Structure 1
């Protein structure tokens, strides 16, 4: 779920509105005297679609590597600090416009371990291939398998809902028994295993035209891996 803030100039609609959102960069708003706010929304949706691959790569990194401070990262962030062991880290800067390109990589730490990895990265940088999976490229360039998060760390990374990015739902009487509850639905795809509040993913599935409903179950696709999901819903909300 993404939110966009629109501020109208006093000369609107002659002057374009200003737009802000939790994205790595704001799109170049196309505006004319005949434009309306619905055109801004449409351009924002198209911009989000272009960013899906960028976010997918970041989610894959968060899920598969030992990312420092990965809890609830802002969707505008394009950097990840990764623990590579021996009290050393790499900071990857992913290009949101071209997410499969070679990222900028900064090495943090002291000693021969970091110096060696820095030299290996520089020597192998030409081996980066856009058609390869991102993590495979990292392994190839660094000539080592980066450490994965421990089970405890992995669980901590997945307690936030993949839709609202919060650990718990708000305390709200309208949510009934779900008020203040944590994530209670997990994607069954073992390579994804993204956690959600059933309320959140239910609302998200309702917004997708291809979602089917049978009694109190919604059938659709995971917003992260696109594998089939079946989510029980509270019919009282329908």
Structure 2
């Protein structure tokens, strides 16, 4: 009797072990996605007939979706990873493009000269350079680069009467922009010289603080009469009658009257005092060469400052400042009064 019971227990245990092994096998196949739901249902039916119980219930829950399968989780993970890989690849491509753009811009600034750079945007798409023309006037040129640079030309802005036509090709560089801007400034020298003469010699009512881009002046000619002068940037002497004369002389001849001078400028053309040596004129000295006995010839471009200097005095002062930079015969530093950027040409006056 005991022997029969032992055999029955052993048989039941073998059934349980077989069912568990079969259930584990089905569970493994489900994880790896190797079984279809119809196959699982048939297998579950067999298990139920053999043993039934908790294993069948667990498998049915997995098939019905009550318990999320590892296969489903694995598929979701692979899908998310694929999306992340695609995003990362796109980001790497953008970084590669940006890296090429940064290297190109840094290389081109080096060609122009870092001493001419005033401002540089954080993403390197905005740059500002200081340019000194042949008369010592300081100009600032702002350059806006597109992300497709150099395929697309840069945008240029400056304090000038009209924008110059930039000649651009895929092989052009920033140094070409600076060179073209230099050539453009040379064409405007007579225009600015004429306006400077008007500002110094006539009673200008408006504008009070003219910029380099403004080409008109309203002047007082006496007896509560005013005239508006508009200077052609391309032809500053374009007045009728005697075009060969200087603008102011031509204007006086045209109006047949002597134009009043500014009340704060004496008739003997007395110069304002220098902001460094506090003298109106330099001493007469052979060592100063052509500058001997000359008046102030440099004015701060900051309209709220407009302090006048002898270029010799300003050059000596800039040499005494450790932050001053020099490029060829030009000193770059800051105004002693307003700290705005200044640039002055220096010459070996002894020669």
Which bracket does the TM-score occupy, shorter chain normalised? Answer: 0.5 to 0.7
Q: What 5-or-longer segments of structure 1 have no aligned partner?
A: 103-125, 170-181, 188-195, 214-218, 221-227, 229-238
Higher relative contact order (CA 8 A, sep 6+): 1
- Measured against aligned partners, the alpha-carbon deviations of 1:203-233 in whole angstroms (never above 9, x if no partner) come to 79941898434xxxxx39xxxxxxx9xxxxx
Count how many residue pairs are aligned between Structure 1 and Structure 2.
Answer: 171
TM-score by length of 2: 0.42
- Measured against aligned partners, the alpha-carbon deviations of 1:105-160 in whole angstroms (never above 9, x if no partner) come to xxxxxxxxxxxxxxxxxxxxx42x321111111111111111111136999x9689
Find the counterpart in structure 1 of residue 59 from structure 2.
Answer: none
The counterpart of 2:204, out of the listed 45, 67, 72, is 67
**1:15 equivalent in alignment to 2:152:** yes
Find the counterpart in structure 2 of residue 142 from structure 1.
Answer: 255
Find the counterpart in structure 1 of residue 178 from structure 2.
Answer: 41
Bigger-Rg structure (1/2): 2
Structure (1 or 2) with the greater helix fraction? 2
**Structure 1 residues 152 and 99 mapped into 2: Cα distance closer, same or farther (>3 Å)?**
closer
The counterpart of 1:185, out of the listed 310, 316, 320, is 310
For 2:172 and 2:243, the matched residues in 1 are separated by 38
Conservation of the 8 A alpha-carbon contact between 2:299 and 2:308: no
For 2:260 and 2:328, the matched residues in 1 are separated by 35
Conservation of the 8 A alpha-carbon contact between 1:100 and 1:134: yes
Conservation of the 8 A alpha-carbon contact between 1:168 and 1:183: no
For 1:204 and 1:100, the matched residues in 2 are separated by 35
For 1:21 and 1:47, the matched residues in 2 are separated by 11
**Structure 1 residues 210 and 162 mapped into 2: Cα distance closer, same or farther (>3 Å)?**
closer
Find the counterpart in structure 1 of residue 244 from structure 2.
Answer: 131
Find the counterpart in structure 1 of residue 63 from structure 2.
Answer: none
For 1:34 and 1:101, the matched residues in 2 are separated by 39
Conservation of the 8 A alpha-carbon contact between 2:218 and 2:226: yes
CA RMSD, Structure 1 to Structure 2 (Å): 3.7
Instruction: Please give the secondary structure, in 1, of the residue aligned with 2:214.
Output: coil
TM-score by length of 1: 0.60
Find the counterpart in structure 2 of residue 81 from structure 1.
Answer: 218
The counterpart of 1:30, out of the listed 167, 173, 197, is 167
**Structure 1 residues 186 and 82 mapped into 2: Cα distance closer, same or farther (>3 Å)?**
farther
Conservation of the 8 A alpha-carbon contact between 1:67 and 1:82: yes
Q: What 5-or-longer segments of structure 2 have no aligned partner?
A: 1-137, 276-297, 332-343
